[in-house]
Structures are given as C-alpha cells and as structure tokens.
C-alpha cells in the first residue's frame, strides 16, 4: 500500500479561512471555522489527485492500494470542519493528525508515509531533510478531472536523482555539465528525494496487466541529448520503467505537462514551478543546490 500524507490546505480550498488567520490571528480563525463547521469546503489543488488515488484497487482482491492521511496544523476543534468536508465529499480518509500549530512532519515516520504534500514550506523542508519525498504545493482551486488514470510527472535532477550534476552546471556552466554527463554516461546517478516514491508507483503498476495500470508516469527534464543517456541507464539500473520521457533542452515545461495531462508535477526549480502551477497541480521540491542558492 502507498501511504500519502496531505495537509488540509492542499486537500481543500481554505483561502478565506487562512486569510482571516493571517489578518486577524488564531482566535478569529477559530471562531470563523466553528461558525462554518457545517459548511463543506470546496476541493483544493490536490483534491482530484487524492480522489483518483483513493479509487485505485488491486485488480484481483479489489482492496484499496492507496491510503491518504490528513495532517494539519489545526487542532481538534477547528479540524472538525475538515473532517465534515471529507465526509461530505465521500473521501475514504480515516486517519488524521491535528498538531495544533506544531509541525506535523514529526509524525510521518509513525504513519508510514512515503509522500508528503503541504502548503507550509517549512514543514516540507523538514520532511525533505528527514529523508521523505515531500513537496510544497501552490494552493488554488481544484482542476476539472478528465479521466480516472493518475498521471504523475517528475523533473530529473534534484527530484528523481541527486543534484550532483546540477552542481556542476551551476558552478561551471552547460558545457562542463555536458562533458561530465558524457564521461560518466555509464555511471548511474545517485537517488534523489523522489526516487523511492517513483519505485513505489512502479511496483503498483506491475500489479496490473500491461496497458491497464491506473497510474502513468513521466520524466519531464530540461536535459537533452547526449545527457539523456545517463538518465535512461540510471532508471534501468534501478529496475524502474517510466512510461514517458521528455528531454526538453531547457524549454518551458508547462505546455508539455498539459499535453501529458499531469495530475501533479514535481520540480525543484521555482521558474518551472511558477509557470506549470498556472495550469496543473505543481509541487516545489526544496532540495539541492538551486534551492540553497535561493535561500542565501
């Protein structure tokens, strides 16, 4: 079973309530949530993804293959509106952590989580540093679903793979990067923060007959030939089959992600995150040299 932890602000549209919290403080927020306790929240940016994941069943036993756990900085009182909304939307979510302002990522290990999605940047950084696949989702209303297949897209360097090659690019430029990838083309890249999550998706896909998996994956990277070879051989070394691979040579990724019909895209560079998030759910992965430079 794949276990996903998701924050309330990514599952539901909590924009109005969160704005009250920012403008007027915690007590005003609490009063607002209690007064609207029986008013269902609208779906948030990750709602369609969660809905699709919860519908994935084993092809033989029909048992659920994905569990979603709610993690929230709310307390039990203010969190009741969230659980009421879960019930209203018929989501099969029964486990939750309400940390009352504390960091919920401390509970990821106990929950057995393999992916953490949150709208709180500091929580995501903490989860990444603790070794979890985690992403900061840019919040907005949910997109309209077009089909039931879960389509997940990943950037390569500093997401699926380590940032070892990106460090060379940042320090010495494109030509040095190309030379390094050519000379080390037969040497697998080290795993990045999302490598284990991709492996989990691959394992779920193998449960289904060819062409019938409810999950489809794509690598969407700024790399181009000849640096593509090391990526392909790395995935082969890991024993992972990815459905689609797009080597875009630095082009903006948003239109390609729309063509893939991605339900979510994981990317470390904010430039691509900002353009992609205008169209699809996009998770910023705050990992690697690019993000360290932006923090300084």
Active site residues: 155
Compute the distance between CA of residue 284 and CA of residue 268 in angstroms, rounded to an integer: 6
Does the N-terminal peptide bond of residue 121 adopt cis geometry, omega within 30 degrees of 0? Answer: no
CB–CB of 285/194 below 8 Å? yes
Residue 293 to residues 153, 167, 269, 290, Cα–Cα distance (Å): 25, 11, 11, 5
Q: Quick check: 220 and 257 in contact, CB under 8 A?
A: yes
Integer Cα distance of 149 and 91 in angstroms:
17
CA neighbours within 13 Å on the CB side: how many for 15?
A: 10
In degrees and rounded to multiples of 5, residue 226 shows phi and psi of: -95, 5
Provide DSSP, 151-181. EEEE-TBTTTB-SHHHHHHHHH-HHHHHHHH
Contact 14, 44 (CB under 8 A): yes
- 231 alpha-carbon distance from chain centroid: 21
């Amino acid at each position: 079973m794949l276990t996903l932890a998701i924050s309330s602000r990514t599952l539901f549209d909590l924009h109005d309530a969160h704005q009250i919290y920012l403008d007027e403080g915690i007590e005003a927020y609490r009063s607002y949530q209690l007064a609207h306790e029986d008013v269902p929240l609208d779906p948030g940016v990750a709602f369609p993804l969660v809905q699709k994941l919860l519908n994935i069943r084993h092809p033989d036993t029909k048992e659920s293959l994905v569990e979603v756990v709610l993690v929230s900085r709310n307390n039990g009182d203010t969190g009741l509106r969230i659980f009421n909304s879960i019930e209203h939307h018929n989501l099969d979510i029964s486990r939750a952590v309400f940390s009352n302002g504390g960091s919920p990522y401390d509970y990821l290990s106990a929950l057995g989580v393999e992916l953490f999605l949150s709208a709180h940047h500091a929580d995501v950084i903490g989860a990444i540093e603790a070794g979890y696949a985690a992403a900061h989702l840019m919040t907005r209303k949910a997109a309209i679903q077009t089909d039931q297949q879960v389509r997940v897209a990943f950037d390569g360097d500093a997401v699926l793979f380590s940032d070892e090659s990106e460090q060379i690019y940042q320090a010495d430029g494109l030509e040095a990067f190309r030379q390094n990838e050519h000379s080390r083309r037969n040497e697998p890249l080290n795993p990045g923060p999302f490598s284990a999550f991709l492996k989990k998706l691959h394992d779920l896909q193998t449960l289904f007959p060819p062409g019938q998996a409810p999950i489809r994956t794509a690598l969407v990277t700024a790399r181009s030939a000849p640096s593509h070879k090391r990526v392909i051989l790395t995935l082969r070394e890991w024993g992972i089959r990815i459905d689609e691979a797009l080597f875009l040579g630095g082009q903006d990724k948003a239109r390609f992600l729309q063509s893939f019909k991605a339900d979510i895209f994981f990317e470390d560079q904010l430039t691509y995150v900002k353009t992609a998030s205008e169209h699809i759910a996009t998770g910023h992965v705050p990992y690697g040299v690019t993000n360290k430079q932006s923090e300084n």
